[in-house]
C-alpha cells in the first residue's frame, strides 16, 4: 500500500507520502472511493502500553539532543537514539534524524508540533523543511516549535536499501498486467529480486521497521523535547502512525490531527481493493473535468467518464505492446507500467490535472512520453541522475511487516482480478498484481488488522476528503468511530488530504483545534 501526501504549494507535482506499494510495481496499497464502505475485519484492539516507562528504556528517554545547524536557514537538526529492538533494548540502537524550527512568536509557546507526511517512507524532515516549517499557517508556526523525525529506515534515519538505481529502473518498468505465464513469471521474479535485495542489504533493520516501533520512537522524542503530551499532525500513512501512538499512549495524547485517515482494522487485500476503487473515483472526477477542456486527448464534450476510461486503457495497452520514446538520458521508454504510474501520480492533487492532460496529449498524439515519465519519476522520487530516494524501499519494508500479504500466489491474484477490475476498470488489473509484492518478503509480518480505540485520550481530530484517491473517505469515518475520543471533520472535494489545500473552512477549523484545543462540532463539513 502506498498513500502519499502532496507537498504543497510546490509545483511541478511533488508527491511524498502513505501506504500503497506504489503504482506500477509499488503502488498497491490502500484505498477506496466515496461509495466504498469500509467493512470491519478485525476484532483485536491495540492495547495501551504501561503508563510508566520501563527502566530498560530510561537512557533513551533521558538523552539530550545536540542541536546544530543543518544547511537550511532557520532549522536545527539533531540525532536521537532509540532501541533497535524494544524487546531487547540492550541489543543495539537505531539513530533517528530529527529537525525543528523554533516558534517564531508572538504569543505563548505551546510546545512542539510533530509532523509526518505519510508514506510509509516519506521523509518527515524533508517535509518539515520544504513545506510545514515555512508553509503551515503563520499563527500555528508562531506558537509551536515545528518538529519532524524521519521514521526508522527512512531517508536520514538509517535508510533501508534494496536496489541500485539501474535495478530500480528495471523494476519500475516491469509489466504489472501480465498477459501469459511467462510475463507472470517475470513479474514474480521482479518481486523476489526486490525482496532479496532488501534482505541482503538491510537484514537486521528489516525486522524492526513496524509502525508500532516508529510510534514508540515518537514517544521518546516527545519526552526528549520536554513535552508532557504529544501534539501531532499526520497525513495519509501518518494518520496510521499517529493513531497507533494514541492507542499505545492514550494518556500522552495532546492535540492530534489525522488528515487523510487510514483504517487499521482492514486486511491488506481489503485496503488494496478499497484504494483501487479510490483511484477510480478520482479518475472519474478527472475524466468529467477533462472532457470540458479544449486540450483533453481522451474525449470531447459529452464523452462519458466510462468511455474516457476505455480510451485511456486502450492507450495503456498500446504502450504495453510498443513503448514510445521519452527523451530519457538513460534510454528508458514510456511503457504501460511507467505511464500508469504517471497518471496515478496526478490523481493525488487536482491541480496536477492540466499537467496530466498536457502529458497525455504529447504521448498519445506526438509519441512523446517525456511528460508522463516525469510524473512517474516524481512519484518514485527518482532524480535526473537516476538515483532513487529510499521511499519505495521503506514503503515495502513497513507495509510487509505491518500486515500479512494481500496475496500469497499468482493464482490468488487471478481469482481476485474480477473484483479489482470492478473496483476500477482502468487501474484494477495492475493494482491487483501490485498487491502480490509482499508475498516474497524475507521477513515475516509482525502486525495484524486491529481496531484502535485509545480509551482515555484527549479529543482527536480525524479529517477525511470525500473523493480522496489514496485514503478513501470511508476510512476516515471508520477511524473516527473507532477512536473513543475521535471527531470527524469532512472536506467535500477532490485530492489527497485536506489541510492546506485551500479550504478556509478546513484550515480555520484545524488551526482553532491546534491553538485552542477545541475540536469542531460533530458532523462538521467543509468545501
Q: Which residues are catalytic?
A: 236, 468, 496
List Cβ neighbours of 242 (8 Å cut-off, separation of 6 or more). 116, 232, 234, 256, 257, 258
How many Å apart are CA 208 and CA 73, to the nearest integer? 33
d(CA 14, CA 465): 19
Retrieve residue 66's grid coordinates. Answer: 545536540
Residue 257, strand partner residues: 233, 461
Distance CA 116, CA 96 (A): 14
End-to-end CA separation in angstroms for the chain: 28
Contact 44, 266 (CB under 8 A): no
Q: Mark out the alpha helices in 426-493 (DSSP H runs).
A: 428-434, 473-482
Report the alpha-carbon distance of residue 237 to residue 234 in Å, rounded. 8
The C-alpha atoms of residue 145 and residue 101 are separated, in whole angstroms, by 6
Cα–Cα–Cα angle for 134, 492, 39, rounded to 5 degrees: 105
Distance CA 23, CA 25 (A): 6
Closest residue by Cα to residue 282 from 349, 331, 226: 349
Q: What whole-number distance in Å separates Cα of residue 137 and Cα of residue 508?
A: 9
DSSP 3-state of 478: helix
Q: Are 379 and 15 in contact (CB under 8 A)?
A: yes
Q: Which residues contact 521 (CB under 8 A, 6 or more apart)?
A: none
Length of the chain: 527
Is the distance from CB of 489 to CB of 472 less than 8 angstroms? no
Going by their DSSP bridges, the two strands 15-19 and 486-494 should be labelled as: unpaired
Residue (of 448, 47, 454, 49) closest to 246 by Cα position: 454
For residue 334, give the 3-state DSSP assignment: strand
Quote the cell numbers at residue 293. 477542456
Amino acid at each position: 500500500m502506498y498513500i502519499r501526501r502532496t507537498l504543497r504549494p510546490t509545483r511541478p507535482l511533488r508527491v511524498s507520502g502513505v501506504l500503497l506499494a506504489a503504482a506500477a510495481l509499488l503502488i498497491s496499497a490502500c484505498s477506496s472511493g466515496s461509495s466504498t464502505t469500509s467493512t470491519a475485519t478485525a476484532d483485536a484492539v491495540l492495547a495501551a502500553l504501561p503508563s510508566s516507562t520501563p527502566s530498560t528504556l530510561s537512557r533513551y528517554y533521558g538523552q539530550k539532543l545536540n542541536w546544530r545547524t543543518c544547511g537550511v536557514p532557520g532549522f536545527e537538526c539533531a540525532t536521537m537514539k532509540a532501541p533497535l529492538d524494544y524487546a531487547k533494548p540492550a541489543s543495539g540502537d537505531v539513530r533517528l534524524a530529527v529537525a525543528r524550527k523554533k516558534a517564531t512568536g508572538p504569543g505563548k509557546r505551546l510546545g512542539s508540533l510533530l509532523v509526518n507526511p505519510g508514506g510509509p517512507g516519506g521523509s518527515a524532515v524533508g517535509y518539515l523543511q520544504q513545506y510545514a516549517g515555512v508553509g503551515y499557517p503563520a499563527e500555528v508556526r508562531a506558537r509551536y516549535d515545528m518538529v519532524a523525525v524521519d521514521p526508522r529506515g527512512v531517508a536520514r534515519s538509517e535508510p533501508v536499501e534494496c536496489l541500485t538505481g539501474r535495478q530500480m529502473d528495471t523494476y519500475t518498468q516491469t509489466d504489472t498486467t501480465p498477459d501469459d505465464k511467462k510475463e507472470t513469471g517475470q513479474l514474480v521474479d521482479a518481486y523476489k529480486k526486490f525482496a532479496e535485495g532488501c534482505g541482503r542489504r538491510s537484514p537486521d533493520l528489516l525486522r524492526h521497521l513496524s509502525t508500532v516501533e516508529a510510534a514508540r520512537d515518537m514517544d521518546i522524542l516527545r519526552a526528549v523535547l520536554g513535552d508532557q503530551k504529544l501534539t501531532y499532525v499526520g497525513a495519509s500513512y501518518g494518520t496510521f502512525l499517529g493513531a497507533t501512538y494514541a492507542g499505545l499512549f492514550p494518556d500522552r495524547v495532546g492535540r492530534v490531527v489525522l488528515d487523510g485517515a487510514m483504517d487499521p482494522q482492514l486486511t491488506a487485500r481489503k485496503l488494496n481493493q478499497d484504494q483501487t476503487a479510490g483511484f477510480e473515483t478520482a479518475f472519474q472526477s478527472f475524466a468529467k473535468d477533462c472532457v470540458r477542456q479544449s486540450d483533453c486527448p481522451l474525449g470531447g464534450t459529452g464523452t462519458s467518464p466510462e468511455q474516457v476510461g476505455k480510451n485511456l486503457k486502450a492507450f495503456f495497452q498500446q504502450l504495453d505492446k510498443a513503448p514510445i520514446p521519452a527523451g530519457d538520458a538513460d534510454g528508458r521508454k514510456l511503457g504501460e507500467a511507467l505511464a500508469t504510474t504517471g497518471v496515478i501520480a496526478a490523481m493525488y492533487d487536482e491541480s496536477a490535472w492540466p499537467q496530466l492532460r498536457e502529458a497525455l496529449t504529447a504521448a498519445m498524439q506526438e509519441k512523446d512520453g517525456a511528460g508522463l515519465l516525469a510524473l512517474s519519476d516524481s512519484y518514485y522520487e527518482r532524480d535526473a541522475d537516476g538515483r532513487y530516494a529510499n521511499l519505495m524501499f521503506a514503503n515495502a519494508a513497513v507495509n510487509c511487516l505491518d500486515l500479512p500479504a494481500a496475496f500469497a500466489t499468482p493464482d490468488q491474484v487471478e481469482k481476485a482480478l474480477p473484483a479489482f477490475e470492478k473496483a476500477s476498470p482502468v487501474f484494477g488489473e495492475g493494482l491487483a498484481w501490485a498487491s502480490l509484492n509482499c508475498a516474497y518478503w524475507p521477513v515475516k509480518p509482525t502486525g495484524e488488522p486491529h481496531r484502535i480505540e485509545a480509551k482515555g485520550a484527549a479529543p482527536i481530530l480525524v479529517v477525511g476528503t470525500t473523493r480522496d484517491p489514496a485514503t478513501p473517505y470511508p476510512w476516515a469515518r471508520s477511524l473516527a468511530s473507532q477512536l473513543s475520543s475521535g471527531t470527524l471533520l469532512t472536506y467535500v472535494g477532490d485530492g489527497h488530504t485536506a489541510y492546506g489545500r485551500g479550504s478556509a473552512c478546513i484550515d480555520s477549523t484545524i488551526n482553532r483545534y491546534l491553538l485552542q484545543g477545541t475540536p469542531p462540532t460533530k458532523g462538521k463539513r467543509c468545501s
